[in-house]
């Protein structure tokens, strides 16, 4: 194990100048190119963001540099107690009304996180129709509410992310609540993972009583499960609308109400965020002597009417604890939303625990209401903070690739479940959330907030693109990093502290997107240097340099390269051998590097004229480098590159045959099973039908090839 804890700036500068090994890359004359779908260039957004973050010149100038394709906007999801219509008239908020012109201005699409837990499946379906339906009613409604009649055309939806409310108790990435807590001295009520997960998928009933620990988006008020109201004026009676779908009107014990006289709100606001603080607040609100008698209130399905003896006085506090019933689960949301628009893709956010995935009834229910993708929150658990503290920066870079491998394993698992459970559609993945492992448990002044986070983000993006293009991962949408947020201890592409500025992560993203974010192709390297890293206690030898090729969508006038130097002690030189057919006349090199122990980063741009077909590029230690070669020739033959799916296979799932629709006259089809074994193949396939009667049920991979490119399609045979 190497010890690199002390890194001197002078040593860094020396290594930046010197070159210790030389890599050779012979660029292909006609690269085989894959297109990066725009949904893979996605970023996270906050529903309650202020418009000033976007209506400023820094953002307007910088945002296009990260080539945005899709924005994940949590409609109805600010700690789950937010509903998309609530803020439409609120000035200065980044609400749905203000999202639409923003989408048009920057030519991006919208991904919506449908509210969950506080709203019904019918309301979720109505939001789908509001966004996508083109009939007169919704056209007029959009015009009335948004000032634009055009459909928003939202393809990707997810149900119930960040379920950290008083129903969900923080499942998904936030972890679980193991108990519901009550007054001091009262026994805890266990809350199992299975119970919470079943609430997510099936919905149902839950008694909102007691309190839970503050995690995720909870605070001292929302950690208390009942509905509280504080009075600054006296009144004889009051009617309070409960937050969740329905009250139980069949059970006389389904609602209890506490009225606390002379409640000290200043004291309540002075409390902190510890369990002891929540306990103190709950004890104050639930003194048994303040429990109203059942003849002092009544309720229907949605409201509680208060008629306390003596009325409600100034500074009274009311707490209502109640049985909330008939919640719609994710299955109901999915079915209603699909009925509203069958063309949309929907993701579930809750990973399956053994109690569910081993349950045959659940498997059947899941198959009846399958998602198009599962949303993954990739949190391995405080890997990089520990590495950074000990000076292991090459290891931080490798964590990104390690994370992609975990995503691939997850995809393989869903491929297997498609067959084993008989799921009628392919289940892909979506990668989301922004405070990923690089900042897991990290303090604000962490040692990897600068170039380390930039290298990580660049490596994550490029490796995710590569594995998804190889169809190792069936990636539907990616929004793993936050667009704008305050503070420096998370991965934000823009920091909004005293000023709005593009972060090291944002600058690294820009280098990735300008080079390989639109079209990507592989490059072959000679003399690749190796480095040894510590992989969770085991030495591992890896390539010092990660590299990819790309083509810009600017009349194909640039051939690009992206380099990530994972070596945190040495620079390396890459010798580029450029085909004469490129007719390359200039090259632009952009570098991002910095001191690994702080947030000081540097950028460097150099544009030079080419006088030969060879050019050497120096890669500083632990850096991201973009190379753009301007060409006068045409490296692309329009019939040759893979610029998207040329073939369409249907039906899928299939039974006795599949039909292939294509613009190509001649192609070959090779069929592989899930273990990669070749099952059958045909050369120069001329027929559009493939007979499947000799194949058993299961998942297969159909590789379709012409002389110049290939595609792979997953086909489920039932």
Q: Distance between CA atoms of 256 and 294, rounded to whole angstroms?
A: 8
Give mean pLDDT, residues 136-150.
95
Give mean pLDDT, residues 595-606.
89
Residue 100: per-residue pLDDT: 87
Q: Which residues of 379-416 are buried (b: 16+ CB within 10 A; e: fewer)?
A: beeebbbebbeebbbbbbbbbbbbbbeebbebbeebbe
The model's pLDDT over 510-524, given as tens digits with 9 standing for 90+, comes to: 999 999 999 999 998
Residue 665: per-residue pLDDT: 66
- 675 confidence band (pLDDT: 50, 70, 90): low
pLDDT exceeds 80 at position 645: no
Give mean pLDDT, residues 24-50.
86
Query: Out of 146-150, 491-495, 675-679, which region has the weakest mean confidence (pLDDT)?
Result: 675-679
Calculate what percentage of the chain has a pLDDT beyond 70.
85
Residue 127: per-residue pLDDT: 92
Give mean pLDDT, residues 87-93.
81
pLDDT exceeds 70 at position 227: yes
Which tops the pLDDT comparison, 243 or 362? 362
Average pLDDT, the chain: 85
Residue 644: per-residue pLDDT: 42
Give mean pLDDT, residues 460-471.
94
Give mean pLDDT, residues 387-414.
90
Taking the CA atoms of residue 42, residue 46, residue 51 and residue 56 in that order, the dihedral angle to the nearest 10 degrees is -50
Residue 118: per-residue pLDDT: 63
Identify which of 40-54, 235-249, 301-315 has the greatest average pLDDT: 301-315
Residue 647: per-residue pLDDT: 73
The model's pLDDT over 269-296, given as tens digits with 9 standing for 90+, comes to: 999 989 999 999 999 999 999 999 999 9
- 34 confidence band (pLDDT: 50, 70, 90): confident
Please count the other Cβ atoms lying within 10 Å of the Cβ belonging to residue 642.
Answer: 18
The model's pLDDT over 403-449, given as tens digits with 9 standing for 90+, comes to: 899 899 999 999 999 999 999 999 999 998 765 556 656 677 777 77
Q: Are strands 530-535 and 500-502 parallel, antiparallel or unpaired?
A: unpaired
The model's pLDDT over 153-210, given as tens digits with 9 standing for 90+, comes to: 999 998 876 544 434 444 443 456 788 999 999 999 998 888 888 888 998 888 999 9
Query: Out of 199-203, 500-504, 702-706, which region has the weakest mean confidence (pLDDT)?
Result: 702-706
Burial of 270 (0-12, 13-18, 19+ CB in 10 A): exposed
- 682 confidence band (pLDDT: 50, 70, 90): low
Residue 648: per-residue pLDDT: 75
pLDDT exceeds 50 at position 59: yes
Give mean pLDDT, residues 689-696.
86
Query: pTM for the whole thing?
Result: 0.83
Q: Which two tokens stand for residue 222?
A: 């929302």
Residue 607: per-residue pLDDT: 97
Contact 322, 256 (CB under 8 A): yes
Instruction: Show the domains of the chain with their CATH numbers.
Output: 36-163+329-520 (3.20.20.80), 177-192+202-326 (no CATH), 647-717 (2.60.40.10)
Query: Out of 50-54, 472-476, 651-655, 679-683, which region has the weakest mean confidence (pLDDT)?
Result: 679-683
pLDDT exceeds 50 at position 7: no
Q: Distance between CA atoms of 662 and 273, rounded to whole angstroms?
A: 61
Query: Out of 377-391, 410-424, 544-558, which region has the weakest mean confidence (pLDDT)?
Result: 377-391
Say whether the peptide bond before residue 345 is cis (omega within 30 degrees of 0).
no
Three-state secondary-structure class, residue 675: coil
- 369 confidence band (pLDDT: 50, 70, 90): very high
Residue 546: per-residue pLDDT: 97
Q: Distance between CA atoms of 205 and 345, rounded to whole angstroms?
A: 28
Query: Out of 30-44, 609-623, 664-678, which region has the weakest mean confidence (pLDDT)?
Result: 664-678
Give mean pLDDT, residues 120-135.
93
- 68 confidence band (pLDDT: 50, 70, 90): very high
Say whether the peptide bond before residue 653 is cis (omega within 30 degrees of 0).
yes
Query: Out of 286-295, 441-450, 495-504, 555-564, which region has the weakest mean confidence (pLDDT)?
Result: 441-450
């Amino acid at each position: 194990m190497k010890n690199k804890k002390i890194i001197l700036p002078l040593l860094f500068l020396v290594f930046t100048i010197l070159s210790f090994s030389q890599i050779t890359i012979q660029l292909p004359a006609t690269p085989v190119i894959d297109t990066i779908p725009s949904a893979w260039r996605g970023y996270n957004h906050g529903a309650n963001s202020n418009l000033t973050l976007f209506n400023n010149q820094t953002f307007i100038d910088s945002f296009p540099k990260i080539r945005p394709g899709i924005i994940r906007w949590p409609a109805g999801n600010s700690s789950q107690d937010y509903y998309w219509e609530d803020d439409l008239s609120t000035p200065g908020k980044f609400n749905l009304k203000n999202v639409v012109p923003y989408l048009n201005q920057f030519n991006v699409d919208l991904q919506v996180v449908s509210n969950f837990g506080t709203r019904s499946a019918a309301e979720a379906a109505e939001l789908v129709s509001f966004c996508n339906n083109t009939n007169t009613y919704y056209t007029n409604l959009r015009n009335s509410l948004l000032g634009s009649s055009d459909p928003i055309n939202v393809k990707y939806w997810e149900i119930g992310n960040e379920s950290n409310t008083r129903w969900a108790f923080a499942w998904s990435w936030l972890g679980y609540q193991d108990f519901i807590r009550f007054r001091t001295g009262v026994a805890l009520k266990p809350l199992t993972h299975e119970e919470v997960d079943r609430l997510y998928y099936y919905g149902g009933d839950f008694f909102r009583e007691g309190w839970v620990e503050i995690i995720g988006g909870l605070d001292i008020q929302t950690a208390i499960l009942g509905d509280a109201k504080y009075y600054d004026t006296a009144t004889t009676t009051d009617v309070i609308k409960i937050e969740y779908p329905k009250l139980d009107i069949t059970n006389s014990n389904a609602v209890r109400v506490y009225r606390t006289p002379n409640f000290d709100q200043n004291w309540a606001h002075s409390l902190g965020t510890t369990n002891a603080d929540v306990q103190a607040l709950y004890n104050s609100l639930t003194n048994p002597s303040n429990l109203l008698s059942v003849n002092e209130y009544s309720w229907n399905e949605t409201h509680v009417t208060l008629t306390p003896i003596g009325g409600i006085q100034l500074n009274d506090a009311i707490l209502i604890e109640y049985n909330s019933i008939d919640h719609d689960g994710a299955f109901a949301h999915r079915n209603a939303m699909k009925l509203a628009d069958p063309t949309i893709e929907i993701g579930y956010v809750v990973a399956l625990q053994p109690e569910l995935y081993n349950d045959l009834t659940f498997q059947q229910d899941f198959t009846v209401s399958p998602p198009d993708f599962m949303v993954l929150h990739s949190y391995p658990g405080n890997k990089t903070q520990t590495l950074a503290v000990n000076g292991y920066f090459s290891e931080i870079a490798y964590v990104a690739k390690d994370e992609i491998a975990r995503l691939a394993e997850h995809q393989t698992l869903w491929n297997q479940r498609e067959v084993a459970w008989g799921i009628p559609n392919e289940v892909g993945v979506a990668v989301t959330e922004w405070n990923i492992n690089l900042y897991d448990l990290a303090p604000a002044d962490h040692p990897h907030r600068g170039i380390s986070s930039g290298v990580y983000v660049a490596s994550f993006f490029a490796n995710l693109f590569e594995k998804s293009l190889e169809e190792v991962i069936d990636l539907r949408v990616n929004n793993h990093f936050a667009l704008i947020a305050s503070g420096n201890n998370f991965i934000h592409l823009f920091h909004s502290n005293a000023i709005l500025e593009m972060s090291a992560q944002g600058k690294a993203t820009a280098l990735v997107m300008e080079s390989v974010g639109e079209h990507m192709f592989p490059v072959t390297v000679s003399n690749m240097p190796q480095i040894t890293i510590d992989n969770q206690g085991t030495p591992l030898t890896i390539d010092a340099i990660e590299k990819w090729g790309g083509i810009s969508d600017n009349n194909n006038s640039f051939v690009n390269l992206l380099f990530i130097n994972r070596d945190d002690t040495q620079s390396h030189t890459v010798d580029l051998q450029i085909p004469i057919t490129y007719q390359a006349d200039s090259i632009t090199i952009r570098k991002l590097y910095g001191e690994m122990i702080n947030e000081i980063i540097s950028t460097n741009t150099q544009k030079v004229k080419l006088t030969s077909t060879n050019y050497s590029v120096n890669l500083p230690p632990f850096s991201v480098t973009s190379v753009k070669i301007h060409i006068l020739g045409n490296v692309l033959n329009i019939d040759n590159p893979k610029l998207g799916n040329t073939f369409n296979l249907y039906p899928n799932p299939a039974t006795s045959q599949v039909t292939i629709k294509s613009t190509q006259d001649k192609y070959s089809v090779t069929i592989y099973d899930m273990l990669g074994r070749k099952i059958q193949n045909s050369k120069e396939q001329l027929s559009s039908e493939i007979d499947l009667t000799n194949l058993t049920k299961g998942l297969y991979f159909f590789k379709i090839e012409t002389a110049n490119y290939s595609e792979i399609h997953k086909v489920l045979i039932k």
